[in-house]
Amino acid sequence: MEYWSWDDSLSIGIDAIDEQHKRLVAYINELQGAHKEQDEQGVARVLHGLVDYTVTHFAFEEALMARVGYPLSEGHKKVHEAFITHINRYAERHAAGEQITRRLISDLQIWLTNHIKNDDRHYVSYYKGEQSKPAEAPQQYWLQRAWHRIFSWR
Ligand SMILES: [Fe+2]
């Protein structure tokens, strides 16, 4: 039984991105598998792969946002950077022998769900050409909200 199963509520309707998000969900399941087996080397290996894949995935999304002229791409990019920083911090703590895997898995699930359902979904109408201007408040305001939603839920 998978720890986290993909379901359509996570789809943003852009196939390439959905496939990449599915891969991220699979990484989190692999992380859970290694954790359950108490395989710390496995956890480190999956974590390394997850960070690598996430960096590539974010670069893909950022290129897509730039291509379609998404007006909030700078803020979105900052959220991506914060994601990577947070995961790397966890990876360092794990390498130092701290038991952080359980908490990391639950954080990753919450961050990703929030990010996909709110931030990623927001650029879809620009991708589809249905919108060309920011429909809402300035970027800084958007960024604050996104930040709060993802990283300040505890
Ligand atoms: Fe994103």
Which pLDDT belongs to residue 121? 93
For residue 79, the CA-to-ligand 1 centroid distance in Å is 8
- Mean pLDDT across the stretch 34-50? 97
Which pLDDT belongs to residue 138? 62
User: CB neighbours (10 Å) of residue 87?
Assistant: 19
- Mean pLDDT across the stretch 23-40? 97
Looking at every residue in the chain, the average pLDDT score rounds to: 90
For residue 27, the CA-to-ligand 1 centroid distance in Å is 17
Q: Residue 4 — pLDDT band, cuts 50, 70, 90?
A: very high
Please give the residue that has the higher pLDDT: either 122 or 146. 122
Which pLDDT belongs to residue 79? 94
For residue 83, the CA-to-ligand 1 centroid distance in Å is 10
For residue 57, the CA-to-ligand 1 centroid distance in Å is 8
Q: How far is Cα 61 from Cα 42, in angstroms, rounded to an integer?
A: 28
For residue 97, the CA-to-ligand 1 centroid distance in Å is 30
pLDDT over 90, % of the chain: 78
Q: Indicate whether 139 pLDDT > 70.
A: no
Overall CATH class of domain 13-151: mainly alpha
Which pLDDT belongs to residue 148? 73
Q: Indicate whether 54 pLDDT > 50.
A: yes
Which pLDDT belongs to residue 144? 75
